[in-house]
Chain A
Amino acid sequence: MAKESSLKNMVSTLFIVCLVSSTLLGGVYAITKEPIEAAAIAKTNSSISQVVPAFDNDPSADVFTKEFDGNSYKIYPAKKGGEIVGYAVETFSTNGFGGRIVIMVGFNLDGTIFNTSVLSHSETPGLGDKMVEGKSTFSVQFKGKNPADFKMSVKKDGGDVDAITASTITSRAFCGALESAYEVYKLCVQIQTNKENGNE
């Protein structure tokens, strides 16, 4: 059975156990470091491919940032045969019920929303998390809408968006994030057209 305890063997046992387990953890950490990073990139890539039309470039490699309203946003251009077919804008809102909500929003070149994909959030399961694609029809209503003529706020506030039942705060935050994504998108298109004009 268990050994008698003396100061020496207590200290040495604890020391050895800590040493062995921290070495082991260091090893596992080193092994899993790359897959963890790869998983994060894969997540971004898969949400990009969901929110923009079919493309053949690597949007993560072409990523650039834009400043809007004091924040910087990441924009992933989607290209097919060298031609830009759409932009995925990584946008966020800090007004969610549980704090920050990060959303990937994809725009066609005519300014309509192709699709949205929630990257991270801490909304209540069963309530606010219905904004996540596939969990309810909430996110579907934005597809194909152009924020220029689709009022991006919930009906309660005089907009065109059907809020999630009992989750007005989340719905408002979602709309806010899309709104700023659209502003960022407009900045990109402007530059794009300027460039084209310069080429001609």
Chain B
Amino acid sequence: MSKLSLLTSGIIKNNPTFVLVLGMCPTLATTTSAINGFGMGVATLFVLTMSNIVISLVATQVPDKVRIPVYIVVIAAFVTILQLLMQAFTPGLYATLGIFIPLIVVNCIVLGRAEAYASKNSVTDSAMDGIGSGIGFTLALTVIGLVREILGSASIFGVKFMDSDGILAFVLAPGAFIVLGYLMVLFNKLKSKIS
């Protein structure tokens, strides 16, 4: 596979959210607005790429039976670094995303890519894979956030486009499930049209 197709595979064909249905908790919880979704996506992209790189570097040295604990420690370390950096430089966003930053540790996408890809492939390929999946996740979260923001608070990226409060339910929990469900339907339709 060429480097470019490694990158794009995570965006469309193996989109973590719409196709693999991984990492649902942050997807549903942090997409109350487009900017929040984007922030969460980028945070995950960072952890995913860094942990993929480190894990592909050390994979050959790690005994098979302690593989998973080692991966978890590596991922948790990067998540903590991210937490500290965000507290220092983007405190507002950190406060909004709250508990879902530490929960990147248990996001199945990160451990999934580490186990399924990074542990068996070269450093550059793993980095590419991490960036690709990360971008796919970020795009998905931004789109969900955008739809929920348009419907739920009548604004786009924080800018009001009409003088109205929007349909409250879309910002709250039920809206998250329903918007994601319908977007998945749309994604399935488009994919079957293309192929």
| Chains A and B come from one and the same complex | yes
Q: Which residues of A contact B (CB under 8 A)?
A: 1-6, 9-10, 13-14, 17-18, 21-22, 24-25, 28-29, 32, 35-36, 38-40, 43, 120, 124-127, 136, 165-166
B185 interface residue, CB < 8 Å from A? no
CB-contact partner of A43 in B63, B67, B91, B119, under 8 A:
B91
A13 adjacent to B66 (CB under 8 Å): yes
Q: Is the CB of B64 within 8 A of A5?
A: yes
A13 touches B70 (CB 8 A): yes
B64 close to A166 (CB less than 8 A):
no
- Smallest CB–CB gap between B53 and chain A, Å? 14
Q: What residues on B are CB-neighbors of A124 within 8 Å?
A: 172
Contact of A17 among B32, B33, B74, B87 (CB under 8 A): B74
Q: CB < 8 Å: which of A1, A17, A36, A127 contacts B70?
A: A17
Cross-chain contact B88 with A2 (CB below 8 angstroms): no
**Digit string of B34-78 for contact with A (CB within 8 Å is 1, else 0)?**
000000000000000000000000111111111101100110110
In the bound complex, what is the Cα–Cα distance between A1 and B120 (angstroms)? 8
| Bound complex: CA A29 to CA B77 (Å) | 12
B84 proximity list for chain A (CB < 8 A)? 25, 28-29, 32, 36
Pick the contact of A36: B33, B60, B67, B88 (CB < 8 A): B88
Interface size counted on chain B using CB atoms at 8 A: 34
Q: Do A14 and B67 touch across chains, with their CB atoms under 8 A apart?
A: no
Q: Which residues of B contact A39 (CB under 8 A)?
A: 87-89, 91
Please give me the 4 A-B residue pairs with the lowest Cβ-Cβ distance, nearest first. A126-B171, A35-B88, A21-B77, A5-B63
CA distance A197 to B33 in the complex (A): 54
Alpha-carbon distance A188/B69, docked complex (angstroms): 57
For B155, the closest partner residue in chain A by CB is: A135
**A4 to B65, alpha carbons, bound, how many Å?**
8
What residues of A have a CB within 8 angstroms of the CB of B165 in the complex?
136, 165
Query: B80 at the A/B interface (Cβ < 8 Å)?
Result: yes
Residue B186, interface by CB 8 Å: no
By a CB distance below 8 angstroms, the chain B residues around A166 are: 168
What does DSSP make chain A's interface, helix, strand, loop or mixed?
helix
Produce 1/0 per residue, B179-193, CB < 8 A to A: 000000000000000
Closest CB-CB distance, B92 to chain A, in whole Å?
A: 8
B60 cross-chain contacts in A, Cβ below 8 A: 1-3
Interface check B95, CB cutoff 8 A: yes
By a CB distance below 8 angstroms, the chain A residues around B65 are 5, 10
Q: A13-B70, A32-B84, A127-B172 are in contact. Are A2 and B77 (CB under 8 A)?
A: no
Q: List 14 A-B contacts (CB under 8 A).
A: A2-B62, A2-B64, A3-B60, A5-B65, A10-B65, A13-B70, A21-B73, A24-B77, A28-B80, A28-B84, A36-B91, A38-B88, A39-B87, A136-B165
Q: How far is the CB of B83 from chain A (nearest CB, A)?
A: 9
Q: What sequence of 0s and 1s flags, for each residue 125-158 of chain B, a beta carbon within 8 Å of any chain A beta carbon?
A: 0000000000000000000000000001100000
Residues of the B chain whose Cβ atoms lie less than 8 Å from the Cβ of A6: 63
Residue B103 at the chain A interface, CB threshold 8 Å = no
Given contacts A25-B80, A125-B32, A127-B172, contact A3 B88 (CB under 8 A): no
Q: B81 near A: Cβ within 8 Å?
A: yes
